[in-house]
Structure 1
């Protein structure tokens, strides 16, 4: 009988687990010994594995997952806990399901929490799947996207036409001021030069008058002599 049951048990195992459980070359291995070896691999460190799975169940959130994938992960974790001797009640599973929903399903989550009688896990999954389907067929999101991205006449930036003439006028006025200032400076320079030339002319006239006076005195002395 062992030669029939042992190959059947080996055929249900994966390759890695088969290498651990199977005793090659030992013909005295019974079906019970094989079963106990398999059980120890699945149920070994039961308390530690149950603690890890329980933490995973209570911290699981939906995020970007769809409703179907999110419910599937919760149900798989609860089934793994049940296999370890730690079954999860229906109420606890639904409460964890509602807790991990994202903001899109906040309204349906409030409805499920206040339901009387409290819904089962399958009923809650059906309600969430129907809500997700309704959101997907609603045209509100597409209309909002078009309204937010559509550009109207008011949203176009005005051309800076009014600023260009002011800049040109300012530059023209600056050129005019520069010319006027240069003209005024040139006028002052001419006056200064003219004043100096006038002084030189006066000096020249004074010198010629002195020479004329000395010449007339010399001629008067010559005639008296």
Structure 2
């Protein structure tokens, strides 16, 4: 009997904090008495602990936490409350989580609040995780077809010879043609017999 009692006391002392051991232990007490002392301490602090945990859940904020760490923190608080016998509605847990998200999730939070049926905490966690991944890897926006068309038009104009340059070449040709025509007329005046009809005085 004494050996079994000592084994139970050893198990109890290995399962609770040092501070609780100090308050629950008495040198001559059996394992049952120590267990009753622990139960009494627990029940005395239950109401205070419950109020404290509920307040933490209502005031929890995401700040710089990741979605994973933020949701784990909320889950830990709800588990502690349920361990104290307090049933926490999942809808309230979701609302608390959405109310304290970082501003970058504000638009998504508004959409989730209006969802029907209202999502579970697990579903909200998955949605927020996906959004966090998307925000961390922004998509590169490809140029639009209109922008490509404008670029090609500009390239075509830049590589086509200007109208002004082409007109200059034609003017040079016409000037040479006029100059050549003047020389021909002067040659015929100096040498009338070079071509055309003979002068009227040549056979008279």
Q: TM-score, normalised by structure 1?
A: 0.56
CA apart distance, 1:73: 1.4
> What is the CA–CA distance in structure 2 between the aligned matches of 1:86 and 1:16, rounded to whole Å?
25
Match of 1:23 among 26, 29, 52: 26
Deviations 1:175-208 (A, max 9, x none): xxxxxxxxxxxxxxxxxxxxxxxxxxxxxxxxxx
Counterpart in 2 of 1:218?
A: none
Q: 1:132 to 1:90 in 2, by over 3 A?
A: same
Q: 1:93 to 1:49 in 2, by over 3 A?
A: same
> What is the CA–CA distance in structure 2 between the aligned matches of 1:5 and 1:103, rounded to whole Å?
52
CA apart distance, 1:16: 2.8
Match of 2:12 among 5, 9, 13: 9
> What is the CA–CA distance in structure 2 between the aligned matches of 1:13 and 1:52, rounded to whole Å?
20
> What is the CA–CA distance in structure 2 between the aligned matches of 1:47 and 1:115, rounded to whole Å?
35
- Check if 1:99 corresponds to 2:102: no
Aligned residues between the structures: 137
State whether residues 53 and 77 of structure 1, in contact with CA within 8 Å, keep that contact through their aligned partners in structure 2. yes
Classify the secondary structure of the residue corresponding to 1:45.
helix
Structure 2 unmatched runs, 5+: 141-204
Q: 1:116 to 1:78 in 2, by over 3 A?
A: same
CA apart distance, 1:123: 0.9
Counterpart in 2 of 1:46?
A: 46
CA apart distance, 1:6: 1.5
> What is the CA–CA distance in structure 2 between the aligned matches of 1:135 and 1:40, rounded to whole Å?
50
Classify the secondary structure of the residue corresponding to 2:13.
helix
Q: TM-score, normalised by structure 2?
A: 0.61
| Cα RMSD after superposing both structures | 1.8
> What is the CA–CA distance in structure 2 between the aligned matches of 1:89 and 1:8, rounded to whole Å?
34
Deviations 1:93-112 (A, max 9, x none): 01111111121001221221
Counterpart in 2 of 1:68?
A: 68
CA apart distance, 1:71: 0.9
